[in-house]
């Protein structure tokens, strides 16, 4: 069975600190997809990144970076120099390789960035 | 932003009454999904559709039914609402090409309260 674990329920940091959000997944598929979404206090879900299982390159987008490690089944998300606007709930999700493209979501990590 | 709307955005209803939530997209995407979001559970899939009149159950489908008579509309019906169905409901859409899993884009959500 597929599973996504976000063990950190809530994290608080002071502005300008770096913070890493952990995501550990389980799947029997050899091809799969991983995603991160952001849910700010306004409630909408914002897509951040998609990663294919066959592409282990890390990715950086501005202050955001993602570290994908198949050996440890992890897809961690780091925010560098955090800002108050980064305060949100962040969800990691796993998708099947083909067919229904259903997601399994983690329970989310609430990030609070204090000024 | 993906063209996804949900209606109503807020609804209060009484136990035992039927309720229908509507998701409308203007992207012509093949896949549509209904999720519910509850504290401590993240997002859980209720039902999904992979084409007109093609639907299937997700992990929390009991008490819900869906219909998709047009590409752009995906309806979620609570046949007899219960207090346990009080939740925030999100619709999502995604495309699929070459058997790859693409990101899902979410609607703004519907907050449903069953009294």
Residue A68 main-chain phi, psi, to 5 deg: -105, 120
Whether residue A103 and residue B103 make contact (CB cut-off 8 A), yes or no, is no
Residue bearing the bigger pLDDT, A22 or A54: A22
Contact residues, chain A, for B92 at CB < 8 Å:
45
Residue B102 pLDDT level (bands cut at 50, 70, 90): confident
Q: What is the mean pLDDT of residues A25-51?
A: 93
Q: What is the mean pLDDT of residues B57-72?
A: 95
Residue B2 pLDDT level (bands cut at 50, 70, 90): low
Residue A70 main-chain phi, psi, to 5 deg: -65, -30
Q: What is the DSSP string of A37-106?
A: EEE-TT---EEEEEEETT----EEETTEEEEEEGGGTEEEEEESS--GGG-EEEEEEEE-SSSS--EEE-
> Residues A10, A14, A18, CA angle at the centre, nearest 5°?
80
- Nearest C-alpha neighbor of B14 from the set B107, B99, B72, B81: B81
- Nearest C-alpha neighbor of A97 from the set B101, B49, B50, B30: B101
Question: Between B50, B90, B106, which is nearest A100 by CB?
Answer: B50
Q: What is the pLDDT of residue A31?
A: 85
Q: What is the mean pLDDT of residues B30-46?
A: 93
Q: What is the pLDDT of residue A57?
A: 81
Question: Between B56, B99, B104, which is nearest A103 by CB?
Answer: B104
Whether residue A105 and residue B58 make contact (CB cut-off 8 A), yes or no, is no
**A12 touching B, CB under 8 A?**
no
Q: What is the pLDDT of residue A7?
A: 96
Enclosing H/E stretch for A13: strand A10-14
Residue B99 pLDDT level (bands cut at 50, 70, 90): low
Pair of tokens at residue B2:
């993906």
Whether residue A108 and residue B105 make contact (CB cut-off 8 A), yes or no, is no
Q: What is the pLDDT of residue A35?
A: 94
Handedness of CA A52, B98, A46, B111 (dihedral sign): negative
Pair of tokens at residue A95:
């998708």
Q: What is the pLDDT of residue A100?
A: 63
Q: What is the mean pLDDT of residues A63-86?
A: 95
Whether residue A44 and residue B109 make contact (CB cut-off 8 A), yes or no, is yes
**B77 touching A, CB under 8 A?**
no
Q: What is the pLDDT of residue B1?
A: 58
**A25 touching B, CB under 8 A?**
no
Cis previous bond, B8, omega within 30? yes
Q: What is the mean pLDDT of residues A26-48?
A: 93
Which residue of B lies nearest to A92 if distances are taken between CA atoms? B42
- Nearest C-alpha neighbor of B25 from the set B49, B61, B59, B56: B49
CB of B35 closer than 8 Å to CB of B87: no
**B45 touching A, CB under 8 A?**
yes
Residue A56 has pLDDT above 90, yes or no: no
Pair of tokens at residue A108:
């989310």
Q: Which residues contact A68 (CB under 8 A, 6 or more apart)?
A: A34, A51, A55, A56, A57, A58, A74, A75
């Amino acid at each position: 069975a597929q599973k996504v674990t976000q063990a950190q329920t809530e994290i608080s940091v002071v502005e300008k600190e770096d913070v890493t959000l952990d995501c550990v997944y389980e799947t029997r598929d050899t091809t799969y997809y991983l995603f991160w979404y952001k849910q700010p206090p306004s409630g909408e879900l914002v897509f951040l990144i998609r990663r294919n299982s066959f592409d282990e390159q890390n990715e950086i987008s501005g202050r955001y970076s993602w570290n994908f490690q198949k050996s440890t089944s992890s897809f961690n998300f780091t925010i560098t120099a955090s800002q108050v606007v980064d305060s949100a709930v962040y969800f990691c999700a796993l998708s099947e390789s083909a067919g229904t493209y259903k997601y399994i979501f983690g329970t989310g990590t609430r990030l609070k960035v204090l000024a | 932003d993906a063209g996804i709307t949900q209606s109503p955005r807020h609804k209060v209803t009484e136990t035992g009454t039927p309720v229908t939530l509507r998701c409308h997209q203007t992207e012509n995407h093949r896949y549509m999904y209904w999720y519910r979001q509850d504290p401590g559970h993240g997002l859980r899939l209720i039902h999904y559709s992979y084409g007109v009149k093609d639907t299937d159950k997700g992990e929390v489908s009991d008490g819900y039914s869906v219909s998709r008579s047009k590409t752009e509309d995906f309806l979620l019906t609570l046949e007899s609402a219960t207090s346990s169905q009080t939740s925030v409901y999100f619709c999502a859409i995604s495309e699929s090409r070459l058997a790859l899993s693409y990101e899902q884009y979410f609607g703004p959500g519907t907050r449903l309260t069953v009294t």
